[in-house]
Structures are given as structure tokens and as C-alpha cells.
Structure 1
Amino acid sequence: MDEQAFYKVTYGLYVVSAEADGGRSGCIVNTLQQVTAEPIRLAVTISKENYTCELIEQAGRFAAVALDQRADLPLIGRFGFRQGRDFDKFSGLPIERDENGMPYSTAAACARYSCRVTETVDLETHLMFVGEAEEAEILSEENPLTYTYYRTVIRGKTPKNAPSYQRKV
């Protein structure tokens, strides 16, 4: 099987975040997608090893921002390659909260979404959270950051916990 073919599946890059029991965190995902129109539901898949996954389970909610092409490697690295249990990923960034208190950063973000989890699917290494959208807002008119742009223009890497990670052979 040519695993490189999976790089042709189109994705955006998002920061999904949550807060519960005094902890807050967020992580980069390329697996956020709209799955129904009425009601509007989004699904996101997150590694069980990520602190953000634990927080979404506890809170029963998540916030997400669509990153735009202004996102740089330090911002992506902060949310994609740092551990939220050991580091406040939001420190020093512009932070807002949705109506239910979920934090999100507006740094290099073109849209935001807030969801109440309605279903959780166990995928062995990851959990898929299906959430009913309760809020959505355009934050800028910048172009969304696609995974292709991230890999080819920014020349970013994929962390081991990402669903699209491919081990080197």
C-alpha cells in the first residue's frame, strides 16, 4: 500500500481545546469535519494520549478554531508538539471563551466553533467526539490553513499522535 496516497486526502488544520477541573489545553488536529447539517454537528478525532482528549471527556464540550495561513511553526508547535499537562499552551496568546467557558485562541484563526459532545466513538488509539454546534463565528477573511499548505509551504512535520502520522520505513 502506498501510504503517500493518504496525503492527497484534503484536511484543514485546527486547534481543538477544552477546560475542566482547573486544567485547560488544546491540540492541533486535521480531523475536524462537519458531519450533519440539521442539526449542525462536527466530529473530531483525538489521540487518547492527549490531555485535550481527557479534558473534552470531562467537560462534555470542546471549542475549535480553524487556523489560517498566518499560522507559523512556533504557534503550530505549541499546540501540536508540546504536552498540555506540563505547559500552558495558551500562555501569552490572545484568548477568548465561548458562552460555556471553553477557551480558544484567536491567534492566526479565521473561524471558531463551539460544540456540546453528543456521542463518543472509541477508535482504539483515538476517540472521535461528535458535537452539536452551539456557536460559530468568522474571525478573519484570511485563507484557511490546509494540511497540504502546512506540509509543502511551511514544511511542517506530523506528530506521532496524529491520525495522519506515517512512520518512516
Structure 2
Amino acid sequence: MDPKAFFKLSYGLYIISTENEGKQAGCIANTFNQVTSSPAQVSVTLNKNNATEQMIEKSGKFAVAVLEQSATMELIGRFGFHCSRDLDKFSGLDCGIDEQGLPFVKEHAASRFSCKVVKTVDLGTHVMFIAEVAGCEVLDNEPVMTYEYYHQVKNGKTPKNAPSYQEEPKKAGGWRCLLCGYVYEGEILPPDFICPICSAPASAFEKIEN
């Protein structure tokens, strides 16, 4: 079985967000899909260890921002490689509030959805939320980001909690980011180096032994 076959499936890249009891959470996902048209229903699958997943379990609702190709790696890194328990991911960003009172990211977003959970499916390591669309709108007409574009053009990595994560072979030499897995090739890591994927500082890198 060739696991790379899964990379040929068509995915988008989305920011999933929610709010409960005054706290906000958000993460990157590539598993948001439309499942029915009447009524309009969608699904998203998230890892059980994800803070956003756990908050959606409590709130029963979530918002989705469909990312454009112009989305920066800093934005993707903020929502994809940090935990909402440790970081206010929405601070300083251009955000809106949807029909259910949920925050959604407007920066580099082509459209957005407000979703009310109607069913959950336990998938072992992950949970699938099936939701009715309470509201949606087009925000911009720029090309949307596909998962293939993210990997091939942006040179992006896949978080370990993602359903499509596959462990990459270790490279000889260099330094590996402990947050997102990015590898800096070189014997000496500059002390002021910033990870281009998740914006982690040099102190978050470990030496890869030959």
C-alpha cells in the first residue's frame, strides 16, 4: 500500500474556530466538507487531543474560514502548530463574529461558514462533527488554497494531530523544529532564526544527529 496515494485526494485548508464560556479556540484543518445540500450540512474531523475539538464538544457549534492561496505561513503556523490553551490565536487579527456569536478569521479568507453540530461520530483518535449551516458568505474572490498547493508551493508541513499526517523520513544533519517538524539544513543554527512554518524561535529547535 502506497500512503502517498492519499496526497492525491483534493483538500482545502481551513481555520476552524469556536467559543465557549468566554473562551475561544481555533485550529487548521483540511477535512471540512459539504455532505448534503438540503438542508445544507457539512462535516469536519478533528483529533480528540485538539483543544478546538474539545471546545466544540462543549459548545456544539463552530465557524469555518476558507483560506486563500495568499494566506501567510505565519497565519497557518499560528493556528496549525500552537495550542489554543497556550495562545490567544485571534489577537491582532482581522476577525468577525458570525450568526452564532463565534469568531472567524477574515484575513486571507475566501468565504466563511457558521455551523451548528447535529451529530458526532467517534472515529477512535478523531471525532467527526456533522453540522447544519446556520450562515455563510463569500468574503473574497481570490483563489482558494488547496492542500496540494500548501505542500508543493508553500512547502508546508502536516501537524501530527491531522488525519492525513504521515511521518516523514528523518534527514541527516540539521535542526528540527519541535513544534512543526520543519528541518533547517546546516550544522549551525543562527541564534535569531525564526521557523518559516510556525514562527518558533531558535530555542524550539533540536539538533539532528547524523
What does residue range 145-164 of structure 1 map to in structure 2 within 5 Å? 145-164=145-164
SS in 2 for 1:161: coil
Gaps of 5+ in 1: none
Q: Mapping of 1:2-21 within 5 angstroms? A: 2-21=2-21
SS at match of 1:91: coil
Aligned mates of 1:42, 1:49 — CA distance in 2: 22
Of structures 1 and 2, the larger Rg is shown by 2
Determine the structure 1 residue equivalent to 2:119: 119
Contact 2:99/2:134, CA 8 A, preserved across alignment? no
Residue in structure 1 matched with residue 40 of structure 2 by the alignment: 40
Can you list the C-alpha shifts for 1:22-41, whole angstroms capped at 9, x where unaligned?
21011100000000011010
Determine the structure 2 residue equivalent to 1:100. 100
Shift of 1:100: 1.3
CA deviation map 1:69-100 (0-9, x unaligned): 11011000000000110000101101111121
Q: Equivalent pairs: percent with the same residue?
A: 51
Structure 2 match to 1:89: 89
Which consecutive aligned stretches of 4+ in structure 1 deviate over 3 angstroms post-superposition?
A: none
Task: Please tell me the root mean square deviation across aligned C-alpha atoms, in Å.
Answer: 0.7
User: How far did 1:21 drift?
Assistant: 1.6
User: TM-score, length-normalised on structure 2?
Assistant: 0.79
Structure-1-length-normalised TM-score: 0.98
Using CA pairs below 8 Å that are at least 6 residues apart, which structure has the higher relative contact order? Answer: 1
Q: Give secondary structure in 1 for the equivalent of 2:155.
A: coil
The alignment of Structure 1 onto Structure 2 pairs a total of residues equal to: 169
Is the CA contact (8 Å cut-off) linking 2:18 and 2:55 kept in structure 1?
yes
